[in-house]
Amino acid sequence: MNSAEAQLRIQQLTNELRQHNYRYYVLNEPSISDFEFDQLLKELEHLEQLHPEFASPESPTLKVGGSVIDGFETIKHRRPMLSLGNTYNETELRDFDERTRKSTGLETIEYVCELKIDGLAISVFYENGKLVQAVTRGDGIQGDVVTENVKTIRNLPKTLRGNYPPLFEIRGEIFMHRKGFERLNQTRIEAGEPQYANPRNVASGSLKIKDSAEVAKRPLDIFLYQVYEDENVYPTHWDSLQSAQSWGLPVPQTAKKCSGLDEVLAFLHEWDEKRHDLSFDTDGVVIKVNDKRLQEELGFTAKTPRWAIAYKFQTETASTPLLGITYQVGRTGAITPVAELQPVVLLGTTVKRASLHNANEMERLDIRLGDTVFVEKGGEIIPKIVGVDFSLRPSNSTPLNYITHCPECGTELTRNEGEAQHYCPNDELCPPQVVGKLEHFIGRKAMDIQSVGSELCETLYRNNLVKDISDFYSLKLEDLLALDRMGDKLASNIIRGIEESKTQPFERVLFAMGIRYVGETVAKKLAAALRNINRIMSATVEELVAIDEIGDRIAETVVFYFQQPKHRELVERLRNAGLNFQAVIQEKLGDSLVGKSFVISGVFEKYSRDELKELVEQHGGKIASGVTSKTNYLLAGTGIGPSKLEKAEKLGVPLISEDDLIHMINGNS
């Protein structure tokens, strides 16, 4: 794959994975299996490693995925709620163990194995033994406060017993037992209502209900598996779990402490057989390093902890008739064919649809209308089509022809030579593409327009009230009140949210405009370097490339974007609406650390690692992840990693304490 092909494939994967994240976390309607998602993500990670210059700052490899719920208070997590890296085979698990042992310098690692529950992640806070707050995962950085709904879960104590910390956070998974799910569906059948698809979707959807009395009618359950407390009372993860159980909290009894990988593998083999006898769905096992000091040393990537991994069990396969094929249009215009299946039950859930990805995949499978197809599922919700039962193919079947025109707007599709994906080029008028731009504009990291969500964007577009992003600022109260199910209070909140968005800083406005390759970080770089929209619009490729971290691809895209008259007109409409196109640059607190590079390792008494990182950067220094010949100082706390210490000593990198750092900031040697 040459450079141009890699760039295009990275862009395709980035867009496709973003859409799948949205469907899974927000809509609870995934269109591919967990396994397929993980394979796409691994392909993207591999390509980004080979071609880092093409990686988007907003890449799905750096994010947990998901969104927040409209109508609930949204708060930032005290600690990010990260996802886990996945593996589907023992070879990759052995690689994980080898990396962990090499990083820590230990021959044998003690792990804790826990069954992976197929539910909804939640963070619960207790203060002085009282349940005071519960927050959803959201997008991993911030989530929604759903305390009253979580309090309806019967096995979650509102008051603790025993010797608990005065304030702590504990995370877990909200789920539903299969029998409870079946009873709930039977009630809906008797009431003439449609059945729910699977327990995970019901558990997730239940927390979005605004009436906690209604939530209480759902047979929700919870398991808790991760304790966080500020005092570091518990030296191991296992100790914290045993203590949590003594306080009355529902900790899974299936968890086990394992010495070394062989015991971990024995646990996996045991539960691969026994999982079918459980009353709830599990699709694998989470393996965590037990020693919290080692967890701290191993640290995190941008998306996952390096001290934990999820092992997924093998798949289950069934056959079912293919009823038809539909085509979906993504925000970028990418066309995705979807197989509509006769419902089939796999691992306790009903499967009706599966993504066929692109024309190449359909051709590879030689899939045809009337076929019976093999579908595979390993704890996922919407699985993968792995083949066709040719012995059952009708004698009069004919090969399928991929659609030639967009199913939404009728525009003839394009497909670049060598590409698998078809695209609708009508990005200005094709409804899903336009609505996707509106959704991006109102997003939390963009204009953060309160009380406006995806559904309302769709409604405003369909009612010809908002055709492009500038139209938000022409909306009037009477326009909104004319919509179905729109009350005075909600309409007023929407108008207020739109008006308040005008205070967003320039870099967020620039990001919200949706210029290709201009993610959150690139927008900040452009705003800081050029200060206003006029200079950005008139900048040459050479001027843009001179800015830190702006490469040729980004520079050429920005120049091309602003060469288009329609985009210059859009800027003027937004400027006239009162949006901010002038940067306000925040000055650093000092420059005492300018030109110095630091690596942080260990646990500190006065500051957290994040606080130390912020201090260094506020005074002009840079933070690096690993010790190299270019490292000026290793900022060392208790339990410093042996590999970092050894490398620092070998390279002659000085070790400093947090007090030493403060002296340096204050100008003392």
Bridge-based pairing state of the strands 282-289 and 167-176: unpaired
Q: pTM higher than 0.75 for the full model?
A: no
How many whole angstroms separate alpha carbon 462 and alpha carbon 466?
8
φ, ψ of residue 138 in degrees (nearest 5): 60, -125
**Cα 197 to Cα 200: distance, rounded to the nearest angstrom:** 9
Which pLDDT value is given to residue 380?
47
Q: What is the pLDDT of residue 588?
A: 66
d(CA 398, CA 367): 10
The set of long-range contacts for 510-514, using a CB threshold of 8 Å and a minimum separation of 24, is 510/536, 511/445, 511/446, 512/440, 512/441, 512/443, 512/446, 512/447, 512/469, 513/441, 513/469, 513/570, 513/574, 514/437, 514/440, 514/441, 514/469
Contact by Cβ (8 Å): 661, 615: yes
> What are the tokens at 505?
């800083």
Query: What is the Cα–Cα distance from 388 to 626, expressed in whole angstroms?
Result: 49
Cα–Cα dist 424/14, whole Å: 17
Q: Which residue has the tokens 């059945």?
A: 195
Q: Which of 63, 116, 377, 437 is catalytic?
A: 116
305, amino acid identity: P
According to the CATH classification, is domain 74-312 in 3.30.470.30? yes
Instruction: Give the per-residue pLDDT at 227.
Output: 95
One-letter amino acid identity for 516? Answer: R
The CATH superfamily holding the domain 3-62+315-392 is Nucleic acid-binding proteins (2.40.50.140)
CATH says 597-665 is which class?
Answer: alpha beta
Starting from the edge strand earliest in sequence, which strands make up the sheet with 86-87, in order?
A: 86-87, 308-312, 282-289, 110-117, 256-259
Cβ atoms of residues 143 and 75 within 8 Å: yes
pLDDT of amino acid 68: 47
Q: Which regions of the chain carry the CATH code 3.40.50.10190?
A: 597-665
- pLDDT score of 196: 72
Give start-end residues of each CATH 3.30.470.30 domain in the chain.
74-312
DSSP-derived secondary structure letter, 414: B
Pairing type for strands 74-76 and 282-289 reads: unpaired
CATH 2.40.50.140 residue ranges for the chain: 3-62+315-392
**507 token code pair:** 């870099």
- 631 and 653 Cβ atoms separated by less than 8 Å: yes
How far apart CA 208 and CA 136 sit, in angstroms, is: 10
Nearest partner of 327 among 337, 318, 317, judged by Cα: 337
What CATH architecture is 431-576? Orthogonal Bundle (1.10)
C-alpha radius of gyration, the chain, whole number: 26
Assess contact for 172 and 223: CB atoms under 8 A.
yes
CB-based burial label for 620 (10 Å; 0-12, 13-18, 19+): middle
Any catalytic annotation for residue 445? Answer: no
Which pLDDT belongs to residue 178? 83
Positions of the chain with pLDDT lower than 70, given as ranges: 22-31, 33-35, 57-58, 62-71, 190-195, 197, 302, 347-349, 377-382, 548-549, 585-588, 610, 625, 639, 641, 668-669
Task: Answer yes or no: are the C-beta atoms of 179 and 127 closer than 8 Å.
Answer: no
Q: Are strands 120-127 and 335-346 parallel, antiparallel or unpaired?
A: unpaired
Q: Are residues 91 and 116 in contact, defined by beta-carbon separation less than 8 angstroms? A: no
